Structure 1
């Protein structure tokens, strides 16, 4: 800790160990310390620190990496890299509350609107395309279906629906990626409720470990799926979040095509089969799968009626 105190010019007055970070009281206020093992992250942390600084300066609600006294974004010590971030006041955003869901979508849009990924260091922010996550989950879910042969007839139509969605996505994702990379949009890539801090009227984003240059529609779709998982389907659940996002930074046509393709992906059903493959808990699996099937069927009916984008 002494090395970090010297590097940041702060005195530390007590720490609290949490799951992935250490909370610390400092002479500059409450902070979070995070360690990255190894030294391979040096250049990426530097590029990400610069990107988050530009986002903050443009008015996006994010927790940046504090700069050291020699203008670095991390400290190297004890065979690791250490970052220091402000502890943002507030609580986790409640995706069950409409006002907070809308604020979360707006926070993503404000981040995406800032062209932080331009210039010579933009290559350091490139990451594996997030759409591959859906393909990977489908493959693991397909493997898991072999363990419950009595339910395979229930699984097959959703598997085919997911495959058709991925075929559509393959055709439109690259164009959207090229558009967003030209703009320089930094995507969070894990906008879960625990990474969104509700500050009373606005939401702020924390934990940018997975962040990089990607298709911004994927960020928005992940956020919408968290709302779907926590609320169950209801008319307007997705459209209200898309409209909130568009008011801040409108989706381009290519991103809208990505959203359209992802809307056909039965994420909840795939998720339950994927989780079953990891845990193999048959007793918990069946009621969760029934719930997921109900939500996906309701979403499909509403989508076909045109009440959702």
Structure 2
């Protein structure tokens, strides 16, 4: 493997001082700055589209992204005589975005707004579009809600229950009611319906703290493997949920992210309703029950039980955060 790495790097005008494994590839410390070498086989299905999107972003001023470097033959992909293919990305020094730090949250919100603004009205050739993955959001939320009911029924029928099952049954109604409400609201959400009628809009698809690298007071955005047409506000709600979970549903932390996004891209009441719906659905409760149901059901880990207990203890804080919207039909 080391020999193949050396052969692939020989095709680039790079002076490598040190390299080590990182994010499924090799992080390269070079005299021209940090780079990331990856095997093409890991990314080929999405590579051309991802490149196109990043080229457009750079042209529109959103240039702190993991662009692909061309080799000496002016090609993005380097193929060895043995058939293996490699790609080199521009990379960044720094730490992952810290969702507990207010300055990082402000940067993350503003950065996402700039990204979404840069992706507006993007035109990509049909043959360059990636094949859409997964099922529509509404169908997925409805499916998850049915699964909650099915798992609850299964646990209720058991004569001997584990502590995890007892805890899960005890808080079921509280979470299930919110799942049902989220389904009903999403089905009638104007923002969601409009996006689906349009066929989706371009977004990052995996906007999380692992893909945000902080260098001083700036963020670099990487990990565009899931970029494509979808629902832009899912980028925001995904990061908001992670932020709120890590901070005990602290209102101030959640609002820093939301407010800094809204400074750059104004949020209508319909869009804020979508944010509310996605935060209303008990995603973490579903994940815990789904993990339990898809594994050996007579066994549970102490870690899963602790997560479930913490979820129950934190639910009042989550409900309090959601009341910020419920009391006036707006977060802002």
Report if TM-score (shorter chain) is over 0.5: yes
Match in the other structure for 1:210 = 226
Contact 1:64 1:86 in 2 (8 A): yes
Say which SS state the counterpart of residue 64 (structure 1) adopts: coil
Say which SS state the counterpart of residue 289 (structure 1) adopts: helix
| RMSD value, Cα | 3.1
Structure 1 window deviating more from structure 2 (243-252 vs 217-226): it is 243-252
Q: Distance in 2 between matches of 1:212 and 1:223?
A: 18
Match in the other structure for 2:286 = 270
Match in the other structure for 1:162 = 179
User: Could you tell me which of 61, 75, 80 is aligned with 2:78?
Assistant: 75
* Residues 26/235 of structure 1: CA separation in 2 closer, same or farther (3 Å cut): closer
User: Could you tell me which of 262, 265, 286 is aligned with 1:246?
Assistant: 262
Contact 1:91 1:198 in 2 (8 A): yes
Say which SS state the counterpart of residue 236 (structure 1) adopts: helix
Q: CA deviation at 1:140?
A: 5.8
Deviations 1:23-63 (A, max 9, x none): 1233532211122427952xx31221121122123232322
Q: CA deviation at 1:94?
A: 0.7
Match in the other structure for 2:118 = 114
User: Could you tell me which of 190, 193, 200 is aligned with 2:206?
Assistant: 190
* Residues 284/2 of structure 1: CA separation in 2 closer, same or farther (3 Å cut): closer
Q: Distance in 2 between matches of 1:4 and 1:14?
A: 15
State which structure, 1 or 2, has the greater radius of gyration over its C-alpha atoms.
2
Match in the other structure for 1:261 = 277
Match in the other structure for 2:306 = 287
Contact 1:176 1:258 in 2 (8 A): no
Contact 2:249 2:318 in 1 (8 A): yes
TM-score (norm: length of structure 1): 0.83
Q: Distance in 1 between matches of 2:72 and 2:268?
A: 41
Match in the other structure for 1:87 = 91
Give ranges in structure 1 of 5+ residues lacking alignment.
Answer: none
TM-score (norm: length of structure 2): 0.77
